[in-house]
Amino acid sequence: MSTETLRAWLDERIGLQYLIELARKKDVPLHRHTIWYYFGGMTLFLFVVQVVTGILLLLYYRPSAENAFESVQFIMTDVEFGWLIRSIHSWSANLMIATLMIHMFSAYFLKAYRRPRELTWMSGVLLLGLALAFGFSGYLLPWNKLAFFATKVGTDIAGDLPVIGPFLLRFLRGGDDVTGATLTRFFGFHVAILPALTTFVLALHLLLVQKHGMSVPPSLTSHNLPRMKFFPNFFLRDLIGWILAVGVLAALAALFPWQLGEKADPFAPAPAGIKPEWYFLFMFQTLKLLPGRILFIEGEVIGILAFVIGGIVWLLVPFLDRPEENSRRTRWFTFAGIVLVIYIATMTIVGYLS
């Protein structure tokens, strides 16, 4: 069967020609901010790395309080290249959240959420939430001391929410305490529920990007910008980034293998100076700095509510800002974004140093 016949056969069944046309049509505007377009693709690539390495880890991982730690230890020591897969999974998770943040803030500052891309932004914010949930649930799976107490503290914070807090705490933990039930539950979230949700939201996000094409910053819309074909030109540039990312991940895994630590002991005291992963650190540090009581309400509860409201506001940014009018309001949003970045960076650094 020749290539031509195969193509015709496929075209008749799945509309291959249409897909090829779509890919041909896709292009990327070239301007001084084009660099930021790479970060979405990089995040997507790292997500694919997570899926592949995660599936490989599933071949050996055993999700129970009795076996989890030992099975990860087995992966790290006895499984051929297990150390590489596990370290890449851990490092890639962190890099993915980093590139996701860069991608999100670049979209924010370039006002890429303006009409008609509101849903693209919102699906992106949902993906951020899903990525954080992936991080939080995956962190517990090795069942080591740090993970155990980080989960205890994290779920405690969720339990402080008014009204739904106690329910949420029990729902997350599968009981009153962090136990093997929590581990099994988090495993279910991490390898079934979150991937299913992410697949759906990610597909929507990519579909919308495909539909609307690349957003051009408001300051450049009037210019007649040169455009680059996505296939093959921009895609090949993406590819270079991905290949280099594989190199970086390999180097991190070989030179700084992800530590396993000690097995969790529910009866041991929490390790001193326990901290969450870096992407939660700014929130954690904020809660630590809040006073015990603010106007008859616990400071921590106010903080948690502020983060919830902040998240909702962040989701609704496209409806609150009006970038197309280039008004004072949109300049205020830019300024607020800068303040937010400075705040997150400062709190993260303070959290690390404290």
Residue 196 binds another protein, judged by CB under 8 A: no
Residue 259 binds another protein, judged by CB under 8 A: yes
Residue 30 binds another protein, judged by CB under 8 A: no
Residue 240 binds another protein, judged by CB under 8 A: yes
Q: Check: CB of residue 198 under 8 Å from CB of residue 138.
A: no
Residue 247 binds another protein, judged by CB under 8 A: yes
Residue 246 binds another protein, judged by CB under 8 A: yes
Q: Smallest distance from the beta carbon of 285 to another protein, in angstroms?
A: 27
Residue 147 binds another protein, judged by CB under 8 A: no
Distant-in-sequence contacts of 32-36, Cβ < 8 A, 24+ apart:
33/106, 33/110, 33/217, 33/220, 36/102, 36/103, 36/106, 36/107, 36/110
Residue 268 binds another protein, judged by CB under 8 A: no
In the list 35, 255, 272, 295, the residue contacting another protein (rule: CB under 8 A) is 255
Residue 236 binds another protein, judged by CB under 8 A: yes
Pick 73 or 184: Cβ nearer another protein = 73
Residue 237 binds another protein, judged by CB under 8 A: yes
What does the block give as tokens for 80?
A: 């051929």
Strand partners, 3: none
**Hey, is 143 helix, strand or coil?**
coil
| Length of the chain in terms of residues written | 354
Interactions with another protein, residue window 53-92 (CB under 8 A)? 73, 76-77, 83-84
Strand partners, 297: 294
Size of the site for another protein (CB under 8 A): 24
3-state secondary structure 161-211: CCCCHHHHHHHHHCCCCCCHHHHHHHHHHHHHHHHHHHHHHHHHHHHHHHH
Rounded distance, CA 160 to CA 155, Å? Answer: 9
Binding site for another protein (CB under 8 A): 73, 76-77, 83-84, 232-233, 236-237, 239-240, 243-244, 246-247, 250-251, 254-257, 259-260, 262
